[in-house]
């Protein structure tokens, strides 16, 4: 009797757990980005969720056959192996021989051209999917609960918008650069641009450098990396749809950051930090100051109420259970630049002050003239 009751309870729990199992459409990014995305996939699969992964035909690391997921393979052209074989030795040579401004600029431009081509490939792959009516109908019929993607490339953003699905990011970088700059308030007076090796305590000249670098990076990334997606967005969604707004419209940003290792900065309610979710605690190695410092930081990082991976999975399932998280999204991205920076309010207040000063000056002039005329008449 006791055994049969336990068996019945076990069957009931299994049935309940399956009833909460959901369907995720995962659009990952190749290379090291896939390594950490796979950690999430393994954990989601272990919890009974059904996962479909969209991969390119030239993928290096994303397996077509896997016990963790089913895959959709889309033609995305051939990857330029020769570029990396030539570029990396030149980069190492420059590091050994010393940097020069012109060499760095030439390498940077060459790298930008290469990455631009990979973004165009991403758009082409997405276009192939959109034009395949059978595939798109099957994706709609599959009734996925959420799209999980890495926004370093924009295919997942476009696909989620087309299917009308909640969108969750596994993110550190986006098409436009460091992710915080796309979603959170980021005052450049104390938030250094990545790669400048500045701190949150900058001198005047460093702040000038920080702002100029930020403007240059945003311009280059928007022009070279964002343009293919903007053209794609206008073609398939209409001229009034902006890709950057689609990017910002994600329900949840799972950030691969941890403020143990980064400077404090403003954040948003739909940003959840899961830095180190794929890592294990560092082992203590006494006698080495640097390693002891690493151990201290590791201990500080792991002193959390729950593991970063558990936190990430909870919030993915939160979005699934609630069919999105629009209540966590700020409206700032829906505003124009003028509204966002309150330029219209500032100009209105300035006009009011100017009109008030003008009226005051005119009134004073009027009464002064009347007083002067009375005085002259009396005399």
Closest of 82, 271, 249 to residue 170, by C-alpha: 271
pLDDT of residue 2: 45
pLDDT profile of the chain (379 residues), mean per 10: 48 47 95 95 97 93 96 82 68 67 74 90 95 96 97 98 98 96 94 92 96 94 95 95 95 95 94 91 62 82 92 97 93 80 90 94 86 69
- Segment 13-21 long-range contacts (CB within 8 Å, at least 24 positions apart): 17/48, 18/48, 20/48, 20/321, 21/47, 21/48, 21/49, 21/50
CATH number at 20-334: 3.40.50.2000
Q: Give the burial class of 79: count Cβ atoms within 10 A of its Cβ; 0-12 exposed, 13-18 middle, 19 or more buried.
A: middle
pLDDT of residue 294: 80
pLDDT of residue 76: 81
pLDDT of residue 80: 62
pLDDT of residue 19: 45
Report the Cα 173 to chain-centroid distance in Å: 6
pLDDT of residue 142: 96
pLDDT of residue 253: 98
Q: What is the DSSP string of 17-56?
A: HHHT--EEEEE--STHHHHHHHHHHHHHHHTT-EEEEEEE
| Residue 12 CB partners (closer than 8 Å, separation 6+) | none
CA-CA distance, 92 to 89, in Å (whole number)? 5
DSSP 8-state symbol, 68: S
Closest of 25, 332, 313, 333 to residue 167, by C-alpha: 25
pLDDT of residue 92: 73
Closest of 328, 206, 314 to residue 267, by C-alpha: 328
């Amino acid at each position: 009797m006791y055994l049969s009751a336990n068996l019945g309870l076990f069957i009931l729990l299994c049935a309940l757990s399956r009833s909460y199992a959901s369907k995720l459409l995962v659009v990952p990014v190749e290379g090291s980005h896939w390594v950490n995305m796979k950690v999430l996939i393994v954990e989601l699969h272990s919890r009974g969720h059904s996962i479909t992964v969209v991969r390119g035909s030239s993928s290096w690391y994303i397996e077509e056959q896997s016990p963790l997921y089913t895959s959709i393979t889309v033609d995305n052209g051939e990857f330029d192996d020769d570029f990396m074989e030539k570029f990396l030795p030149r980069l190492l040579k420059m590091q050994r021989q010393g940097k020069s401004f012109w060499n760095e600029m030439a390498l940077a431009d060459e790298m930008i051209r290469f990455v631009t081509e990979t973004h165009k490939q991403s758009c082409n792959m997405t276009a192939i999917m959109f034009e395949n009516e059978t595939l798109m109908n099957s994706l709609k019929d599959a009734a996925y609960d959420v799209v999980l993607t890495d926004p370093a490339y924009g295919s997942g953003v476009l696909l989620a918008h087309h299917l009308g699905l909640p969108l969750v990011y596994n993110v550190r970088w986006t098409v436009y650069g460091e992710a915080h700059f796309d979603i959170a308030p980021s005052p450049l007076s104390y938030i250094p641009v990545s790669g400048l090796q500045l701190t949150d305590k900058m001198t005047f000249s460093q702040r000038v450098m920080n702002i100029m670098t930020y403007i240059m990076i945003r311009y280059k990334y928007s022009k070279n990396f964002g343009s293919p997606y903007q053209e794609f967005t206008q073609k398939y969604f209409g001229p009034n749809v902006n890709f950057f707004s689609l990017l910002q419209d994600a329900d949840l940003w799972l950030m691969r950051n941890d403020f143990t290792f980064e400077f404090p900065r403003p954040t948003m309610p739909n940003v959840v930090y899961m830095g180190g979710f794929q890592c294990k605690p560092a082992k203590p190695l006494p006698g080495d100051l640097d390693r002891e410092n690493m151990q201290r930081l590791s201990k500080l990082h792991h002193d959390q109420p729950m593991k970063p991976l558990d936190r990430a999975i909870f919030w993915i399932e939160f979005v699934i259970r609630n069919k999105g998280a629009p209540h966590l999204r700020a409206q700032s991205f829906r505003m124009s630049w003028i509204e966002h920076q309150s330029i219209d309010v500032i100009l209105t207040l300035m006009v009011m002050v100017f009109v008030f000063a003008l009226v005051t000056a005119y009134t004073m002039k009027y009464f002064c003239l009347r007083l002067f005329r009375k005085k002259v008449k009396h005399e």
